[in-house]
Structure 1
Amino acid sequence: MSVTNPARSSRPLQTAWIGGVCAGLADQLGWSVLVLRLVFVVLGAFALVGVLLYLVLWLVMPEQSDGPSAPGLESHSRTGMRSVADPNLSAVDVGVAVALGLVGFGLLWLVEASGWGLNTDALLAGVLGSVGLGLIWWQADRVSFEPAPEASGWRRVAAAVLAHWTSVLAVLVGIIALIGAVTVVVTRTEGVTEMGQLLLAIGVGALALLLAVSPWLLRARRSLARARQLAILADARADMAAHLHDSVLQTLALIQRQAADPKKVSALARRQERELRQWLYGEEPASGSLVEALTEEMLDVETDHGVDVELVSVGDTELTAELDAVVRAAGEAMVNAAKHSGSDRIDLYCEVDADLISVYIRDRGVGFDLAGITEDRMGVRGSIIERMKRTGGRAIIKTAPGEGTEIRLELPR
C-alpha cells in the first residue's frame, strides 16, 4: 500500500485575480473558484471579516512553485508548439470581477446603512489598510527588483526601478494608504493623551511596517528552507553516485570480465546484492561485534561454496573469546550445510537477549541421521558440539533424513 503526503494549499499566481487565495483553496478543496470568491466578498461586507481572512490566508499560503517539467516542454512553449495559459485576465474574468465588486460594495453599503457594520473611522482605517497591504503584497508576489547586470553602482538600482516603474508606483500608493490608515487610527482615537497618541502612532506604524514587509521576510525564510532541502538532496545524490561507482559499477566490471565462470559471477552478484541492501535499508554492524563476525563467516561460505546465506539479526554485542567460538561453530555448521545438504540456501539467525545469545543455522536439504554420527565426524562433534561445551554453551541439532537440518547454538551471558 502506497502512502501519499497530504497536499498543501498554495497560491497559483498564474490564475490569480489578487493574491491567488481563492484559486488555491479551490484547487485544494475541489470547489468552484467563483463560489469561494463570492463567499469572501459577502464576508467582507460584514465588518471586513472576509478581507481580514483573505489577508491572513495570503500570508499563510505560499506561492505555487513550478514542478519539474519533462525535457523539451520549455522550448516547445517558447517556439509556440505548445499552448501556454495566458496570465492576463480575460474579458469574462474582468466582467465577473466588476460584478463581484459591485455586489460587495452594495452589501457593504447595506450593512453600514443598517447599523450592523463598523463605525466610519474604523471602516475608513480598515479599507485604507487593506488597500495598502493588498497593493504592496500584490507587487511582492510578482516583481523581484533585481539590478541590471550590465550596470553598476546606483545605475543598477535605477535601472531596476525604471524597468518596474508601475510596480514602484503601486508600492508608493500602498505606503500612502497605510500611512493614511495609521493617521486615522491615531487621530480618531478618543480619550488618549498626547504621549499616548505618540506611543499609539509608534506601535501602529511599526505593526503596519511589519505587515508590509512580511511577504519578503516569508519569501526569504522559504527560500532558505528550499536551499537546505536542495543541499540535502544534492548530498544524497552525490553519496549515492559515489557508492554506486565504488561498489556496484566495480562489481559489474568484475562480472563482465569473469562471465565464463558462472559460480564466480553468482558469488559476486550475491555479495553485491547484500552490500547494496545493507547500504539502502540498514546500518553496518559495529566493528568487532558478533554480527560483524557472523557476516564475515557468511560471506566466506557464500564465496567458497556458491550458496546463498540469509542473515537476520536481533540485537548485537561486543565480540569476546567465548562468542568467537560460537562464530566458528556457526561457520562450521554453514560449511557442512553447503557441502552436504544439497540446498542452495542457508538461513542464519542471531538473537542477543539480556541473558542468552542464540545463533540458528538452518537448511532445507536432505538432512541426516543424528544417531548415526560416528566418533570420527569431527565437523559436527568436534567443531560444533564439543566447541560449544568448552565455552559453557550447548549445541542443539534437529535433523532427519529428507527434512533438512537446524542447529541452535546457545551461550548464556
Structure 2
Amino acid sequence: MVEAGRSVLEAAWGRLPTSREATENLGSFTRARIERVITLLVGPGSLILGAQAVFASFGPGDERPGWHLPMVLAVFVPLTAMVIACVAGRFPRVFSGLFAVVYVVALAVWPFATAGGARPVPTEEPWIFYLVNVATVATVVAFPLALQIVWTVVTPLLFGFVRLVQAGFDERFFLPVGLDVSFALILGSVVVVLGWTYRSVAANVDETRARAVASYAAAAAAAATEGERVAVAALMHDSVLGALLAAERATTPRERTLAVSMAREALTRLANAEKDPWEGSDEPVDADRLADDLESGAREMGVQLQVARSVDPETPRVPGRVARALVLAALQAVANAVQHANAQGLAVQLHGRAEPGGVVVRVRDAGDGFEVDQIPEDRLGIRGSILARVTAVGGRTEIESGSNGTTVTLEWDSGDRW
C-alpha cells in the first residue's frame, strides 16, 4: 500500500507542467520559477546600473594614481560574472554573493585608494556609488533574508562613512551624502521587501499545492482500496460461492467433477488475484524449465539464486498451468525467506522423477523459523500464494519450520488430477 500511495503521489505531481528549474524538487514548483524570475530581473537591472558606473569611471577618478584601474577591475569583473550567471541561470547565487562581498571590501579600501587624490566635489558622486544598490540586489539572489537586511543597511552606511572620510568630514558633504545614503537605503529596502514577498507567496502556493496533491493521493489510494475490495468481493461471490453451490447440488459423478473443477478454478483466481488474469498457454514444459523460471524470477526480485537440479531424463513434461503455479509458489517462499530470514542459508532444489512421474521443489532457509499453526488467517503470503496456489493445480505442500530454519516442499505428480 505504501508503494501504491507513492506511485499515486508521483502520478499526481506528473500532472503538473515541469521545467529544468522545477524538476529537481517538485515540492518547490512555484518557488523555483520565482527564483528564476528574480535572477532574470537582477541580471539586466544590474547591467543597466553597471553601465552607468562604467561611464562614470571613464571620467577623472577620485583615486590616487595607480589605484583607479585595479579598483575598477576588482569591482567590474565580479559584476560582469554575476550578470552573465543571472541571465544564463548558471550559479547565480555563487557569483552574486561574490560580487556583494567584493563590493563591500572595495568600499572599505576606498579611503586608502583616495587618500591624497583629487579633492572631491560635493555634488558629484564617485563611480562606486552607482553600484551600492547593485550589491543590495545581489544579496537578494545570494543570501538569506537576515543577511539581505544586514547588507541593505550596512552597505549604504559604509558608503556614506568612507565618502565623508574621503572628504575629510567637510560639512558641505553632509547633506548630499545623507541624501545618497537615504536613497540607497529606501531603494534597497524596497527590493528586499519585494523579494521576500514574492518568495513567501510562492512558498504558500507550493504548500497549498502539496496539500492538494497529498489529498488527491489519499483519495485515489482509498478509491483503489475500495475498488480492490469490491473486486475481491465479486470474485468470492462469483467464483467461490458458485463452486460451493455447485458442490452442494452435485448428485452425479459428472456434476461432482464439475464442482471440483470450479473450486480449483476459484482457488487459482483467488491466489492469482494480484496477477494478470490471463494465465498463458497450458503447453507442457520440461522440468528444467521450472528451474530456469525460478532463477530468472529470483533475479527480478534482486536475489541471485542457483537452483540445484536433479532431473531424471524420463521425467514427464509438466503442464503449463502447473508449472506456473509451482514457480510462483516457490518464488513466494523465496521472498518470505528473504524478508523474514534475511536469505540466510537460502537454497532451492528441484527434483524430477520418472516413476512415479512428477516434480518436487524445495525451498530452504536457515532463519529462526515460525509456528506454522500460528499463521494468522489474514496472512495470504503462505495460505493464498503457496498453499492455495499449489492445491488449485492438484499439488501438495508441506512446510516444516523450526529453530534451524524453514523448508517448503512443493510436490506434483503426473498421476494427480488437476
Please classify the TM superposition score into its range, dividing by the shorter chain length: under 0.3
TM-score, length basis structure 1: 0.28
> Which structure has more helix as a fraction of its residues?
2
